[in-house]
Structure 1
Amino acid sequence: MIKSILLFSVFLIQFTFLKAGIVVLNGLSHTYKVENGKIYKGKIAIENTGNLPQSVKLFLQDFSYQSDGSIQYSAPHTNLKTNADWIKMNTNMIVLKAKETTEVYYEIMVPDKIAEPGSYWSVIIVEPIEEITPNDNKQGVNITSVIRYAIQVITNLDTEKARPDLKFEGVKIEKENGRQLLKVAIANKGNLYCKPIVVIEMYDKKSGQKAGTFSSQAMGLLPQTSKSFYIDLEKTPPAKYKAVLIATDEDENSFALNVELNVKND
């Protein structure tokens, strides 16, 4: 896949470096439809792929992201729609033997009285603990890089009373690795998490003939966040086009924008 798309699709894996060992096996996004006063259960499956024992700590954080690629991790209660206080894990620390797999369980205890419908969320950080081994033969400080995983826990309350509200914030053509990419920045101004896909229908500006229909990957979009959706225009001949952009979520809510594009050779 295109480099920029791949980078964004794995944005929840923070600080990815050369040394690996811990892998989360059951996804980086856990979504629940919840009701006031109810309890929901989930789990995180973790594997130690290394050849040595590995200690791992788990803790909660709030987070958000924007279409420029920035991601903000912060202490619980930074986000007004946090559900960090609802989530209780059965442990905050585990030790995995070499090649061992285990599961950490958590409960989501939804408060009795949450008046505002919509999505509430936080992330569970899974972070290996690196042992610090002094080396008397070397001066200075040795820095060891680790992989941290952030698992979204999204709880959707009274979804029939909430909805996403998608806004187009920017449209431009970029060239990357010899390919023409349409970069579409979209913000969710509503109060409900959604997973939209962006489709563009293109028409030659001179002839009016349809040049094609192209689409992005579907990506999750939390309330009050934004992302850039990428559409490959590699097979589009150089010309000026009139186009319609349509963002549609999994519930068939659609949002459209008319644009003009100039696809060039270089």
Structure 2
Amino acid sequence: MRILTGAASWTDPTLLACGRFYPPAVAANAEARLRYYAARFPLVEVDSSYYALPTAENAWRWDQRTPDGFVFNIKAFRLFTGHQTPLSALPADIRAELDGWPAPFLYYNDVPGELRDELWRRYTLALEPLRLPGKLGAVHFQFPPWIRRDARGHAALAEAARRMDEHLISIELRHRSWFDSPAATAGTLALLRDLGAVHTVVDAPAGPENSVPAVWASTHPELTLLRLHGRNAAAWNRTTQASSGRFQYEYSEAELAELAERFSRLAAQSAQAHAVFNTNFEDQGVRNAAAFAAALPGF
């Protein structure tokens, strides 16, 4: 069993601007930044792949700039998870095929089938430079709060699993219906097992309608995944200039000790376990991740 800890971004603008993690000479250079981060953590989640399709060129550079054994989890492109997607986020030739589209954005089901096939094809090809050397962890599908536990929601999850059948995928759900009763929780976990998907244990503020409880369960023998968003309920749905502003939170020593204990017990059910801190405001993500790693039993 390998327990890996890291942040959900190594290039958040507020992390670079705060000047507390990267030395000045490193912060200004993309290659030096990733090398510096990878010397301190064994895992990172790629956030940019949510906003636009990744490219094989960038994936190859990420491989070249990180040591053997380093792991990248890749956040799925927003179109594939049912989020509103600007036309500008699509490749130019795909946009040309949609010439005349009446809005500046669209959703997955708006895209003609042959273009959806092509987008998925390009997406999986772009991941090959990480998959081949064994540096690709999970492709993470964070579904929006309007994906409920109903026929539409089941179909969305099944589509992701079908399209990524040769990859390990993790699924994060954000509507409470998936976990609003013991029966619903059991059914959701059974569905993820049937799809061959990794359940994401979520640590997030309690109370907001678009947050779900932490369900401490593992559904895949290869990976246990914990994503930590902080517990700042006041900022959870706040509009901020940087998206990381919604996740401003520094975990206390007691909180991290309790989380580390629970996580280490659950991690024993899989070959590898990842703890990803999405508290990316300034250097909170990297500080939380380092403190969590230090709190793990036997560290």
Q: TM-score range by the shorter chain?
A: under 0.3
Q: TM-score, normalised by structure 1?
A: 0.23
- Name whichever structure is richer in helix by fraction: 2
Q: TM-score, normalised by structure 2?
A: 0.21
Larger RCO (CA under 8 A, 6+ residues apart): 2
- Name whichever structure is richer in strand by fraction: 1
Kindly name which structure, 1 or 2, has the bigger radius of gyration based on alpha carbons: 1
